[in-house]
Amino acid sequence: MYKNRIKAEFILEMINRIEYIVKKHGSVTKTLNDIEGEMAVLMAVAQIGETLKKIDDEILKKFDLLQDKEGAYYTRNYIVHDYEGVNLAYIERIIRDYLPKMKIKIINLIESLEN
Segment 23-62, tens digit of pLDDT:
999 999 999 999 999 999 999 999 999 999 999 999 999 9
**pTM of the predicted structure, to 2 decimals:** 0.93
Instruction: For residue 29, count other CB atoms closer than 10 A to its CB.
Output: 15
Structural domain boundaries enclosing 49: 2-114
If pLDDT is split at 50, 70 and 90, which confidence band does 82 have?
Answer: confident
Q: Considering its fold, how many domains does the chain have in total?
A: 1
Q: What pLDDT, on a 0 to 100 scale, did the predictor assign at position 83?
A: 67
pLDDT at residue 87 greater than cutoff 80:
yes
pLDDT at residue 113 greater than cutoff 90:
no
Residue 90's contacts (CB-CB under 8 Å, 6 or more residues apart) are 75, 78
